[in-house]
Amino acid sequence: MGRKNKLGRFADLLSYPNVYENFDTHHPSLVGKDNQPVLLNGQWAKKHFKNNAPITLELACGRGEYTVALAQRHVEKNFIGMDIKGARIWKGATFALEQKINNAAFLRTRIEFIDHFFDPGEVSEMWITFPDPFPRKSKANRRLTGDMFLSRYKAFLPVGGVIHLKTDADSLYAFTLEVLESRGDYRIVMHSDDIYSGDLPHPDLDIKTYYEGKHLEAGKAIKYIQMIRTE
C-alpha cells in the first residue's frame, strides 16, 4: 500500500465515530472522532454503544473481519476490535459504518496498554485471532497468551470471563497450553489441534479471516483453546 493511501486511511479514522486511538506511547489516553479526547473506561457500553450489553474484545483484530462478523451474528452484544495497524483497522471500521453495524467499534493502540482503557469487569469475553506467535524465545514475553498479558487481562476480565485463542501456529498452541497448566487463575475449558477435523469446538469458529484462508491454503491445521478466568 502506498504512503498516500495509508495517510488517507489514517485521516479517515480520525473522522470515524466508531474508532478510538492512542497516539502517545508515554500516556495511555484516547482520542475519538475529530481528534477529540475521550475517556471511556467503565463507560464503553453507555457512552459509545448507548446500551448496557456485554462487551467482547478481539485482540490483534487486523482487518476487523472477526469483530464485524461476530457483531453481525450477535446483535445482543457489543464488540471492540483492537490493533495497532490503522490501515488494517480502516477496513473493518469502514465496512461497519457502511453496513450500519452499530455494535462494532475499534481501538487503535499497542496491546501493552490494554489494561488502561477498561475498568474491572468491563469486558466479559475475548478473542485472540491469529496473533503473531513470536516464535523466537527472546520475544516470548510478547506472546498474547503469555504470563504478562494473562495477568493484565485480569484488570478488566471478570472471574468467569472467557478467552478464545485461534491460531495456526503449533508453537503458540503448545506454549499457551503449557502456560495455562502452570497458572491457577485460568482454566482450560477445551482445546483442539485441528478444529476442522470434526465438529467445531465452538460455533463461531466457522468465521474465517483473510489470513486463515491463507493458512488453510498452505495446508496448516487451525488450532483452538478456550480458557476461563477462575480467580
Q: What is the pLDDT of residues 143-163, one digit of tens each?
A: 999 999 999 999 999 999 999
pLDDT at res. 27? 82
The residues, any chain, with a CB within 8 Å of residue 9's CB and separated by 6 or more, are 86, 87, 90
CATH number at residue 172: 3.40.50.150
Highest mean pLDDT among 11-15, 21-25, 226-230: 226-230
At which residue does the C-alpha cell 502517545 appear? 24
In this prediction, residue 5 has a pLDDT band, given cuts at 50, 70 and 90, of confident
Establish if 8 belongs to a structural domain.
no
User: Per residue in 21-39, pLDDT tens?
Assistant: 998 877 889 999 998 999 9
Q: How far apart are CA 170 and CA 71, in angstroms?
A: 29
Domain range enclosing 55: 39-229
Establish if 73 belongs to a structural domain.
yes
User: Per residue in 61-117, pLDDT tens?
Assistant: 999 999 999 999 999 999 999 999 888 999 999 999 999 999 999 999 999 999 999
Q: How far apart are CA 191 and CA 165, in angstroms?
A: 9
Establish if 4 belongs to a structural domain.
no
Establish if 193 belongs to a structural domain.
yes
User: Per residue in 198-226, pLDDT tens?
Assistant: 999 999 999 998 888 888 999 999 999 99
User: Per residue in 131-141, pLDDT tens?
Assistant: 999 999 899 99
Establish if 204 belongs to a structural domain.
yes
Average pLDDT over residues 1-12: 74
Average pLDDT over residues 121-128: 98
Establish if 10 belongs to a structural domain.
no
pTM of the predicted structure, to 2 decimals: 0.94
Establish if 91 belongs to a structural domain.
yes
How many independent structural domains does the chain possess? 1
pLDDT at res. 210? 85
pLDDT at res. 3? 57
The answer to whether residue 4 scores a pLDDT higher than 90 is no
pLDDT at res. 214? 87
Establish if 12 belongs to a structural domain.
no
Residue positions annotated with a catalytic role: 132
In this prediction, residue 2 has a pLDDT band, given cuts at 50, 70 and 90, of low
The answer to whether residue 1 scores a pLDDT higher than 60 is no
User: Per residue in 160-205, pLDDT tens?
Assistant: 999 999 999 999 999 999 999 999 999 999 999 999 999 999 999 9
